[in-house]
């Protein structure tokens, strides 16, 4: 049965949380880049947000079942795009992660693959019609995520590759993963870790994964980023130093404060109170998404929304943990706050599908 959709069906509360976070991000990007060669990129961020909102509204009008029915084509296209990155991608700082687009813009396919994987696993598990996932189901789901993950690792982009894991974990959890299977997976993972460490990671990646534990051991080298981040966060105190007044940020001691370390810059200039305010906004956003999953019209819709929750939560957890020295530096941006077109557009597209699912919650 179809029905007329009105703007009243839109989740305006969710959009409010999103725009508040984006607004704070734009403000901090402006402050963090004020005296650098990146000055003015906050304007580009506003354009990305506006474009993302347009895509979100368009996506909310396309029945998500149509996307699920075409997901095999999207999956093939995403795999081809990742191969294209390896062949003709733009190389920057030793990695190929972007494809040069007309107009000087760069497209990062690995960001969009997250959304494809969310939809692919949602369709796969929702069509199993079983309370518990079998070994075959787990292997197939693992391969679906493993292929693009390996292609992204080849770029190399460890941070983005890791963001595919929570999609798989959430899919297996909602798909009925049994405790004994989970135990076997964990044991296999523990056995594979040494192999990946010795043969799968580059030296600088290994250094990043261990240096966060003792950044003071190499303050001018591998521990520099974490060390400066901790100084920035600590110097913010309770209320912060004020916008454009952070010494670590404005003195350009803090690395890439508009992207990976934007939360450290925010903490320095807005203090503990500002940090809590941002984390509260993220918490409200996540809870609103979970609410939308609970009111989804079918299992596939709930899978999709919870997949978005998994990716968003993982990004926040790793980025904030990285900033305060509890996670290795992996280059995972803070959603909706960090500067970057591909990340912003992915997030708004994902939210557009969530809106799509919410607007059909009363459709049988």
What DSSP string describes 22-87? HHHHHHHHHHHTTTSTTTTHHHHHHHHHHHHHHHHHHHHHS-HHHHHHTHHHHHHHHHHHHHHHHH
Does the pLDDT value for residue 129 go beyond 50? yes
Helix (H) or strand (E) holding 152: helix 135-153
Contact 170, 133 (CB under 8 A): no
Residues of the chain with pLDDT > 70: what percent? 91
Contact 338, 260 (CB under 8 A): yes
Q: With bands split at pLDDT 50, 70 and 90, how would you rate the model's confidence at 364?
A: low
Q: CA 364, CA 294: separation in Å to the nearest integer?
A: 15
What is the 3 state secondary structure string of 96-109?
EEEEECHHHCEECH
Q: Which value, in Å, is the radius of gyration of the alpha carbons in the chain?
A: 21
Exposed, middle or buried: residue 113 (CB in 10 Å: 0-12, 13-18, 19+)? Answer: buried
Give the pLDDT confidence score for residue 56 in this predicted structure.
94
User: What pTM value is reported for the model?
Assistant: 0.91
Structure tokens at 201: 């990671």
Structure tokens at 167: 């999609």
- Structure-model confidence comparison of residues 181 and 333, the more confident one: 333
Give the pLDDT confidence score for residue 253 in this predicted structure.
87
What's the half-sphere exposure (Cβ side, CA atoms, 13 Å) at 238?
0
Q: Name the least confident of 11-25, 82-96, 232-246, 297-311.
A: 82-96
Give the pLDDT confidence score for residue 74 in this predicted structure.
95
User: Cis omega (within 30 of 0) on the bond before 86?
Assistant: no
What DSSP character marks residue 175? T
Does the pLDDT value for residue 290 go beyond 70? yes
3-state secondary structure of 1: coil
Q: With bands split at pLDDT 50, 70 and 90, how would you rate the model's confidence at 7?
A: low
Q: CA 252, CA 34: separation in Å to the nearest integer?
A: 10
Q: Name the least confident of 99-103, 130-134, 252-256, 347-351.
A: 99-103
Does the pLDDT value for residue 201 go beyond 90? no
- Structure-model confidence comparison of residues 212 and 115, the more confident one: 115
Phi, psi of 92 (to 5 degrees): -145, 125
Structure tokens at 196: 């990946």
Residues of the chain with pLDDT > 90: what percent? 54
Encode pLDDT of 211-261 as tens digits. Answer: 667 777 666 776 788 888 999 999 999 999 999 898 898 888 888 889 999
Does the pLDDT value for residue 331 go beyond 70? yes
Q: With bands split at pLDDT 50, 70 and 90, how would you rate the model's confidence at 50?
A: very high
Give the pLDDT confidence score for residue 104 in this predicted structure.
64
Q: Give the best-scoring range by mean pLDDT among 15-24, 131-140, 174-183, 242-251.
A: 15-24
- Average pLDDT of the residues in 183-201: 81
Q: CA 282, CA 240: separation in Å to the nearest integer?
A: 20
Helix (H) or strand (E) holding 125: helix 109-126
| Mean pLDDT over each residue of the chain, to the nearest integer | 88
Does the pLDDT value for residue 139 go beyond 60? yes
Phi, psi of 186 (to 5 degrees): -65, -40
Structure tokens at 208: 């990043």
DSSP-assigned beta bridge partners for residue 90: 98
What DSSP character marks residue 203? H
Give the pLDDT confidence score for residue 113 in this predicted structure.
93
């Amino acid at each position: 049965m179809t029905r007329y959709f009105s703007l009243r069906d839109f989740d305006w509360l969710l959009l409010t949380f999103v725009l508040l976070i984006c607004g704070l991000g734009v403000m901090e990007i402006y402050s963090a880049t004020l005296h650098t060669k990146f000055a003015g990129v906050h304007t580009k961020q506003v354009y990305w947000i506006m474009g993302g909102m347009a895509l979100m509204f368009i996506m909310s009008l396309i029945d998500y079942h149509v996307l699920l029915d075409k997901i095999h084509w999207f999956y093939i296209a995403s795999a081809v795009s990742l191969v294209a990155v390896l062949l003709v991608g733009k190389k920057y700082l030793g990695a190929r992660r972007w494809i040069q687009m007309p107009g000087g813009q760069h497209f990062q396919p690995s960001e969009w693959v997250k959304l494809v994987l969310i939809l692919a696993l949602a369709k796969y598990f929702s069509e199993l019609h079983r309370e518990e996932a079998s070994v075959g189901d787990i292997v197939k789901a693992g391969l679906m995520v493993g292929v693009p993950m390996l292609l992204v690792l080849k770029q190399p982009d460890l941070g983005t590759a890791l963001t595919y894991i929570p999609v798989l974990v959430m899919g297996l959890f909602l798909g009925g993963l049994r405790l004994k299977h989970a135990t076997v997976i964990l044991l296999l993972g523990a056995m594979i870790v040494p192999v990946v460490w010795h043969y799968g990671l580059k030296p600088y990646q290994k250094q990043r994964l261990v240096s966060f534990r003792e950044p003071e051991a190499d303050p001018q080298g591998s521990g520099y980023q974490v060390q400066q981040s901790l100084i920035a966060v600590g110097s913010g105190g309770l209320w912060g130093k004020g916008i454009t007044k952070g010494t670590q940020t404005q003195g350009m001691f803090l690395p890439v404060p508009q992207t990976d370390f934007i939360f450290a810059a925010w903490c320095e200039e807005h203090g503990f109170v500002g940090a809590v305010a941002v984390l509260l906004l993220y918490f409200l956003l996540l809870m609103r998404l979970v609410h939308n999953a609970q009111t989804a019209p079918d299992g596939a819709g709930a899978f999709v929304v919870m997949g978005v929750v998994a990716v968003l939560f993982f990004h926040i957890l790793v980025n904030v943990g990285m900033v305060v020295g509890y996670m290795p530096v992996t280059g995972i941006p803070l959603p909706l706050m960090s500067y970057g077109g591909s990340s912003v557009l992915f997030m708004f597209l994902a939210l557009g599908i969530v809106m799509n699912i919410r607007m059909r919650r009363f459709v049988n």
